[in-house]
Amino acid sequence: MLPHKASKNVKIGGYDIPKGANVMVNVWAIARDPKNWSNPLEYRPERFMEESLDIKGNDFRVLPFGAGRRVCPGAQLGINLVSSMVGHLLHHFEWSLPEGTKPEDVDMMESGGIVTFMATSLQAVAKPRLPKQDLYKRFPVEM
């Protein structure tokens, strides 16, 4: 999330925030708060299927697109594009780790910043699932 500027002097969590101070929401800490998640540092993507979550800014456990009046206007487009791209990649390819790599060898640690990404790039092998002539057909009229 982008920085905000305090519009007046305020006290938050025992801290004095002066008017004009730059303020940032620590989304990283919120997403790893043990009050919100059991085993927050454990990689468990299924937790998002087990829980009812609102990613549009109303559930403050997850804030991928911000919240309130300044929520990202392109959130739905982003969700749709990523879902479509992942679906195509899973449909067209069989995925595996490089030869000799075990799943437990994959480093899932993150590197912080304005955007979170894997500290060590994921190495994966994509093997086409479809014959070459079918792989690149994009429109039903071509099929």
pLDDT, tens digit, 9 for 90 and up, residues 83-98 = 999 998 998 899 999 9
Question: What element of type H or E holds 128?
Answer: strand 125-128
Number of domains in the chain: 2
DSSP 124: -
Q: Give a yes or no: residue 3 inside a domain.
A: no
Q: Give a yes or no: residue 33 inside a domain.
A: yes
Q: Give a yes or no: residue 101 inside a domain.
A: yes
Q: Are 26 and 16 in contact (CB under 8 A)?
A: no
pTM of the model as a whole: 0.59
pLDDT, tens digit, 9 for 90 and up, residues 46-72 = 887 777 777 666 677 777 777 777 778
CA-only gyration radius of the chain, Å: 21
Whether residue 69 is found in the same domain as residue 109 = no
Which residues on adjacent β-strands are paired with residue 5? 22
Q: Which amino acid is at 54?
A: D
Whether residue 104 is found in the same domain as residue 59 = no
pLDDT, tens digit, 9 for 90 and up, residues 109-138 = 888 777 778 889 999 999 988 877 666 666
Which pLDDT value is given to residue 137? Answer: 66
Q: Give a yes or no: residue 1 inside a domain.
A: no
Confidence category of residue 142, pLDDT binned at 50, 70, 90: low
Whether residue 69 is found in the same domain as residue 110 = no
Alpha carbon distance 125, 104 (integer Å): 16
Domain of residue 128: give its range.
95-143
Q: Give a yes or no: residue 87 inside a domain.
A: no
Tokens of 138: 């994009």
User: Is the pLDDT at 8 greater than 80, yes or no?
Assistant: yes
Q: Which amino acid is at 117?
A: F
Whether residue 63 is found in the same domain as residue 106 = no
Q: Give a yes or no: residue 11 inside a domain.
A: no
Whether residue 69 is found in the same domain as residue 104 = no
